[in-house]
Structure formats: C-alpha cells, structure tokens
C-alpha cells in the first residue's frame, strides 16, 4: 500500500513537470485580443468540465459502489428506465451545448480579425482621435518583411508598435502559405500568395514578444521567427528614427534578392521602400515582365481577351520564378509546368481576395486559357 500511495503522488506531479517546460504566453498574453481569446478558452473549458467531471466521478463511484463484494448495494436486475435520470442525462449536456453555441456565436463575430477594434482593453474605449498604425506583412522563404507605409520604412524579422495603439495588419505571402502569429498579441492569421488577409490588434504592455510562422512552409520553417517590440510612444519614435538612420533603400532589385529562399536572416532595416512594392508583391508582379493579379482579374471580369494574346501565358507563370536563374529553390514549392505539360502554373492564382473566382486552366488543346489572353 505505501508503494501505491507513493506512485500515485508521482503521477499527480507529472503534469506539473510538463507544464513547467511550456511557454504559457497564450494563457498570459499582453494584448486585448489575445486576452479575449484566452478568456474564450477558459470559458469553453469550464463549460465542458461541468459535464466531464461529474461523468468521471460517477463512473468511479458506480464502479466502487456496485462492486461485487459490496452486498449492501441495491441489486435490481429488472431495472430498465428512470424518467428523472433520463432528464438529467439529456438536459445537462443540451444546456452546455446551447451555452457553448451562444459563446461561439458571439465570439466568432466579436473576435473576427477583419473587424476593427472598438476598445483598447476591457476598461478603455479607443479615443475618437486615435489613428491606427498600418503594417503590411509579407511572408517570405524564410523570413518576415514588414512595411510601414505611413512612415515610409520597412524591416526584416523585427516588428514594433506603440502600446495602446490599434494596429491594422495587412498580410500576404510571396510564394507558399504561412501563418503570422504573435501569441501575446492575437491569434494566428494565414498569409497566402495572391491574397490579403487582415488582423486588427493592440498591445497593452511594453515588452519584447516572440513572433513566428505557425504553418509549415519548407526547410527553413523552424527559423522563421521575429521579435515584436511593444514600446511607449517615445520608444517607438526612437525605433523609427533608428530604422531611418541605419536603413538602406528597398527597391524592386533589393526585394528580388531578399525574396530568394534563405534561413536565419538577421534583422534588416530599410529607411525607404518603393511605394507600390507591397501591392506588387500582393498581386504577384514584383518580378519584371509578370502580369499583376488585379490585371488578370480585370481581364477575367471582362470576359477574356481571346486566343490572339497567348503571350500572356508566360506572364502568368509565378511558381517557377527562380528556374531561369539556374537555381533549384529549396522552398515548399514546385512548378506544375514541369509535372503537367500544357497546363499553366496556377500556384497562388486561386486565392485572390474580394471573392473573385479562379480562372480556368488549359488542358493543352488551346495555347492558353481564354480568359487570361489579352493585350490590354
């Protein structure tokens, strides 16, 4: 018996040992959106435990109460129904499901990442004269590029924002899908080529926080991390001044070099960036000679340009951008052009925003998809 008690104590300590090695930032965040998401996790867990704990307890109780050696327990082999017991068995889970459904419905709309913020935290509304900070995020192989369009600067693998200032993130990717995630700030949001996703968030406490990609995207995925600095206004102004003082210029040529797959990239500052570079990345036409996605969608909307503009086919091949340079990019991408002759590469072309549909693909009978052929 003493050995059994000692073993039971050991088992009770094991979960604490596992938790001791975990980063509990999700349950102790520093941003209001992440805090609301934490509260949602807690409420949902408590609601589910309201039925789980009694079921576990009663299972153990019945096993002990009606064990074979307990002759004092009532034995009724003819028992088959109890209305009161049926009501409890069905009513309790139904009530919990209704409560979970209500919480999920409310939270789904309230925590929609596309929904602008209506408060700084649980006790403070956003002042009427507050102007949000816009940050444009690009997931590269395997690093993060951040544009501050209102400040005219850009950074690699470092992000900063003032405390208690709403942040409007616009998020996209250059090649394959990633996931933009700062656990202390808000939940993860996917970054996809040819598509812009959004996130509205606010950081409420100063500090240095971890950011990373939460979606596997190739060999360098595990090093695709960055630092997010929550600063007071004076500290943020000093950080912006540092970027402008130490940074270089991010033009198309510099971006095309940066875009190439690389691992463990150091922090880089850019004192200036081409004003239309983010939109070119979003529309997959940062490389010279490529047709922009919004131009392609316009052609599609107008009904196509006919076979007379078959040369547009090469302008719409996006996923083999490094093949002509004699490179074999070790990214989680592949050119469908090599695997399926006669079919144009469409990686990233089916994810344009604003609800546009994906253009049709050639089966080899025609020189190019009809709706993609146009001389503009």
Residues 127 and 225 in one domain: yes
Residues 260 and 278 in one domain: yes
Query: Into how many domains does the chain fold?
Result: 2
* Structure confidence by residue, pLDDT tens digits, 256-303: 999 999 999 999 999 999 989 999 999 988 888 888 888 877 777 777
Residues 129 and 272 in one domain: yes
* Structure confidence by residue, pLDDT tens digits, 169-214: 999 999 889 999 999 999 999 999 989 999 999 999 999 999 999 9
* Structure confidence by residue, pLDDT tens digits, 15-38: 544 444 467 888 889 999 999 999
Number of Cβ within a 10 Å radius of residue 279: 18
Residues 88 and 34 in one domain: yes
Residues 198 and 257 in one domain: yes
Yes or no: say if 374 and 311 are a contact pair by the CB < 8 Å rule.
no
Residues 135 and 229 in one domain: yes
- Domain containing residue 268: CATH number: 2.60.40.420
CA 163, 169, 172 angle in degrees (round to 5)?
150
Cis-peptide, bond into residue 142, ω within 30° of zero: yes
Distances (CA, A) of 202 to 123, 137, 189, 226, 325: 14, 16, 15, 18, 42
**pLDDT confidence band for 330 (50 / 70 / 90):** low
Asked, for residue 251, whether it belongs to a domain, the answer is yes
Report which of 214, 208, 211 is spatially closest to residue 146, judged by C-alpha positions. Answer: 211
* Structure confidence by residue, pLDDT tens digits, 42-100: 999 999 999 899 999 999 998 998 888 888 888 888 888 888 888 988 998 899 999 99
Residues 87 and 126 in one domain: no
In the predicted structure, residue 364 carries a pLDDT above the cut 90: no
Q: Which residues contact 289 (CB under 8 A, 6 or more apart)?
A: 315
Residue 175 is given by DSSP the state S
Judged by DSSP in three states, 122 sits in coil
- Domain residue limits at 106: 25-68+83-111
Residues 144 and 235 in one domain: yes
Residue at which a domain ends, from 283, 303, 319: 283
Structure tokens at 117: 């913020």
In the predicted structure, residue 365 carries a pLDDT above the cut 60: no
Structure tokens at 366: 């025609």
Give residue 110's pLDDT: 93
């Amino acid at each position: 018996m003493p050995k059994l008690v000692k073993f039971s104590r050991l088992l009770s300590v094991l979960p604490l040992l596992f938790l001791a090695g975990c980063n509990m930032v999700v349950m102790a965040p520093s941003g209001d959106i992440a805090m609301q998401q934490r509260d949602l996790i807690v409420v949902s867990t408590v609601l589910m435990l309201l039925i789980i704990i009694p079921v576990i307890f009663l299972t153990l109780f019945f096993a002990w109460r009606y064990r074979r050696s307990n002759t004092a327990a009532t034995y009724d082999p003819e028992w088959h129904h109890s209305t009161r017991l049926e009501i409890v068995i069905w009513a309790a889970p139904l009530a919990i499901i209704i409560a979970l459904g209500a919480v999920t419905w409310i939270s789904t709309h309230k925590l929609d990442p596309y929904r602008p913020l209506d408060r700084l935290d649980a006790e403070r509304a956003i002042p009427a004269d507050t102007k949000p900070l816009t940050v444009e995020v690009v997931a590269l192989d395997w690093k993060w590029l951040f544009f501050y369009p209102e400040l005219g600067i850009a950074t690699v693998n470092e992000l900063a924002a003032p405390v208690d200032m709403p942040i409007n993130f616009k998020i996209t990717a250059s090649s394959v899908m990633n996931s933009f995630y700062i656990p202390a700030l808000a939940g993860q949001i996917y970054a996809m080529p040819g598509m812009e996703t959004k996130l509205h968030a606010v950081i409420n406490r100063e500090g240095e926080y971890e950011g990373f990609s939460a979606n596997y995207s190739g060999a360098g995925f595990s090093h695709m991390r960055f630092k997010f600095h929550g600063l007071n206004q004076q500290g943020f102004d000093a950080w912006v001044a540092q970027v402008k003082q130490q940074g270089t210029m991010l033009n198309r040529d510099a971006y095309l070099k940066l875009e190439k797959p690389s691992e463990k990239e150091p922090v880089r500052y850019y004192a200036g960036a081409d004003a239309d570079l983010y939109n070119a990345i979003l529309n997959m036409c940062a490389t010279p000679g490529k047709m922009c996605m919004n131009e392609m969608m316009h052609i599609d909307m107008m009904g196509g340009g006919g076979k007379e503009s078959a040369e547009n086919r090469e302008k719409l091949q996006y996923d083999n951008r490094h093949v002509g340079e004699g490179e074999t990019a070790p990214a989680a991408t592949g050119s469908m052009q090599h695997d399926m002759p006669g079919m144009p590469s469409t990686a990233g072309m089916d994810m344009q925003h604003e609800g546009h549909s994906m253009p049709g693909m050639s089966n080899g009978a025609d020189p190019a998809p009809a709706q993609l052929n146009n001389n503009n």
